[in-house]
Structure 1
Amino acid sequence: MSEHVLPEPVVRIEEVRELARDLVVIPNRRVQLVPNIGVIGGTHSVLVVETGMGPRNAETVLGFAAEYAAGRRLYLTTTHFHPEHAFGAQVFAGQATFLVNRAQAEDLAAKGAAYLDMFRGLGEPVARQLEGVEIATPDVVYDDAYDLDLGGRVVRLLATGRAHSRGDQVITVPDAGVMFTGDLVEAGQFAIFPWFPPHDTDVSGTRWISVMRRLAGASPRVVVPGHGDVGGPQLLADVRDYLELLRDETWARRDSAVGEQTIVEEVRAVMIERHPEWAGREWIEKGVGCLCAEHPA
């Protein structure tokens, strides 16, 4: 994933930002492998979005959420199964009801152990946070959409279909105009393509574009990306436009029978010229590989 040593992926309860009434985000502070975490309240219940990586981070999140809830019932959901988003769910057992979409639950069961091994190989700081991880089983599983009544506020959980992963979901708070996207959207960073053939090829660039078109059409007031700074609806448009350009530049070269390494080099140069300030340049090559595989014959 990255050639340099990753920093300690620790969730810190700092600079907590209120996005709307009874709705806050714990920012990731642009630390790699730390997600933006949401806490959404209603009159009788509170929903936590994301756990952080591993039991220790999840304990921090649960401690904050329990204090924030002040006796209200707790729920937990995660935007997809990747370790920094979901591999702390075990800590919430008995304290919160864990609910996700069916495809994500299947990803957790089928791929969780393999991703745990892969992420442990990213270096000691990451491995340390993954000590003692047990892959949790959700308490409630839905198919396409789920309306969660928190009391005076309904939060909608929506399975998007295959994109960044097979089991992506977005969480929207209609009365506040807030959308949590997980890694369908990153701010200030190239889209993360977990393209790891032959082990995992579920990411789909073409389907991701379709998802982003639908999400952009929803025009939320506030977008909470998986990683990076909270923003407005322009974040959705930025990712959609980037993915479309990545597809077009890749497929144009594929049509000309250019070798894949040449495609990677040329498309990488185009993307960096377009977005020189964005982080995560290593993901451009993964995106090209995915889109080459999806090129229409």
Structure 2
Amino acid sequence: MASESLSHDPIVEPGNARELAPDLLVIPDRGVDLVPNIGIIGGSHSVLVVDTGMGPRNAEKVLAFAAEYAKGRRLYLTTTHFHPEHAFGAQAFAGEATYLVNSAQAADLAHKGPGYLEMFRGLGAPVARQLEGVELVAPDEIYPEARDLDLGGRIVQLRATGRAHSKGDQVVTVPDAGVLFTGDLVEAGQFSIFPWFPPHDTDVSGLRWIEVMRRLIDTHPTLVVPGHGETSGPQVLTDVRDYLELLRDETWARRDSAVSEETTAAEVKALMLERHPDWTGQEWIEKGVACLCTEHA
């Protein structure tokens, strides 16, 4: 997700897919804003696609790549959360794949999807082009919090995490390969994305996000595929947790000393940029401060 206008088209390039483990690929984001990392996970009789890319044309390319890769195997689609670059291409999979998500994410899509579609169309012509013709389709299968999907000789675990980056966040784990797809719960080399857009959306929770990160660290994955950024080892989970905890602590120390929110945001941002000078997405720091100013232990 990006909060500023883009000057380039957010295009998914399936030709850059690379193997992380046997029958398990990632289509990397290549460092392009509003392009997610997309997973292709295979078993003996089925293939699961994780996230669609933004809009129907990106998703059509992902579907074509996945169908060719599947070689006749059944296709499934799941999305890590409802935000446009992750889920607003699901219409391309209709009739070709079974689309399944958790109930909180389905509710997010139904209730907030139209508003996010309009908001993202305002991010500039390149984004608006990719969102032309978007239809928000309902999932084929909705499960409460967990679904173990049998792809044939490989079980993939779909798990709702509870409210954090969004109300419907979901992680996808491939236990036999030790691979964890996190969506935007984790970004590599980027400040955590806080979709804090009052009054339209204030469901992000920094405190719950920290708890989710602690649980994910305890799962001990071998490889982590973030929503955006390079696939890496499990240290990225600790990096995100540590950043969120520091953001909370520094925000609350200033809030509780009656410093203005504007001053708090400026001071905390300066501290975070000093701590992580190479991270991108610095515009999300202030939104994280604004969110955490409203939260209490």
Give the TM-score range, shorter chain: over 0.9
Task: Find the counterpart in structure 1 of residue 169 from structure 2.
Answer: 168
Which aligned pairs between 1:62-211 and structure 2 lie closer than 5 A? 62-211=63-212
Task: Find the counterpart in structure 1 of residue 40 from structure 2.
Answer: 39
Residue type at the aligned position of 2:238: A
Tell me how far apart the structure 2 counterparts of residues 32 and 5 of structure 1 sit (CA, whole Å): 8
Check the 8 A contact 1:205/1:287 in 2, yes or no. Answer: yes
Check the 8 A contact 1:6/1:32 in 2, yes or no. Answer: no
TM-aligned CA distance change 1:144 to 1:4, over 3 Å: closer
Tell me how far apart the structure 2 counterparts of residues 176 and 220 of structure 1 sit (CA, whole Å): 9
Check the 8 A contact 2:6/2:127 in 1, yes or no. Answer: no
TM-score after normalising by structure 1: 0.98
Task: Find the counterpart in structure 2 of residue 275 from structure 1.
Answer: 276
Residue type at the aligned position of 2:230: D
Tell me how far apart the structure 2 counterparts of residues 103 and 13 of structure 1 sit (CA, whole Å): 29
Check the 8 A contact 2:82/2:113 in 1, yes or no. Answer: yes
The alignment partner of 1:184 has SS state of strand
What is the Cα-based RMSD across aligned positions, in Å? 0.8
Task: Find the counterpart in structure 1 of residue 17 from structure 2.
Answer: 16
Check the 8 A contact 1:254/1:295 in 2, yes or no. Answer: no
Q: Hey, which bits of structure 1, 4+ residues long, moved more than 2 A?
A: 1-6
Deviation at 1:184, TM superposition (A): 0.1
* Deviation by residue 1:216-245 (Cα, 9 ceiling, x = unmatched): 111100000000100010010000000000
Residue type at the aligned position of 1:119: F
Deviation at 1:270, TM superposition (A): 0.5
Task: Find the counterpart in structure 2 of residue 58 from structure 1.
Answer: 59
Residue type at the aligned position of 1:156: Q
The alignment partner of 1:79 has SS state of coil
Task: Find the counterpart in structure 2 of residue 266 from structure 1.
Answer: 267
Tell me how far apart the structure 2 counterparts of residues 219 and 22 of structure 1 sit (CA, whole Å): 21
Residue type at the aligned position of 1:213: R
Task: Find the counterpart in structure 2 of residue 286 from structure 1.
Answer: 287
Deviation at 1:295, TM superposition (A): 3.5
Deviation at 1:4, TM superposition (A): 5.0
TM-score after normalising by structure 2: 0.98
Check the 8 A contact 1:14/1:27 in 2, yes or no. Answer: no
Tell me how far apart the structure 2 counterparts of residues 19 and 264 of structure 1 sit (CA, whole Å): 39
Where structure 2 has 5 or more consecutive residues not aligned to the other structure, the ranges are none
Deviation at 1:3, TM superposition (A): 4.2
Deviation at 1:195, TM superposition (A): 0.2
Moved more, 15-24 or 260-269: 15-24
Deviation at 1:6, TM superposition (A): 3.7
Task: Find the counterpart in structure 2 of residue 241 from structure 1.
Answer: 242
Deviation at 1:136, TM superposition (A): 1.0
Tell me how far apart the structure 2 counterparts of residues 12 and 99 of structure 1 sit (CA, whole Å): 24
Report the count of equivalent residues.
296
* Deviation by residue 1:119-162 (Cα, 9 ceiling, x = unmatched): 00000000000000000100000111100000000000000000
Tell me how far apart the structure 2 counterparts of residues 146 and 274 of structure 1 sit (CA, whole Å): 38
Tell me how far apart the structure 2 counterparts of residues 46 and 143 of structure 1 sit (CA, whole Å): 22
Q: Is 1:226 matched with 2:227?
A: yes
Check the 8 A contact 2:5/2:123 in 1, yes or no. Answer: no
Residue type at the aligned position of 1:81: F
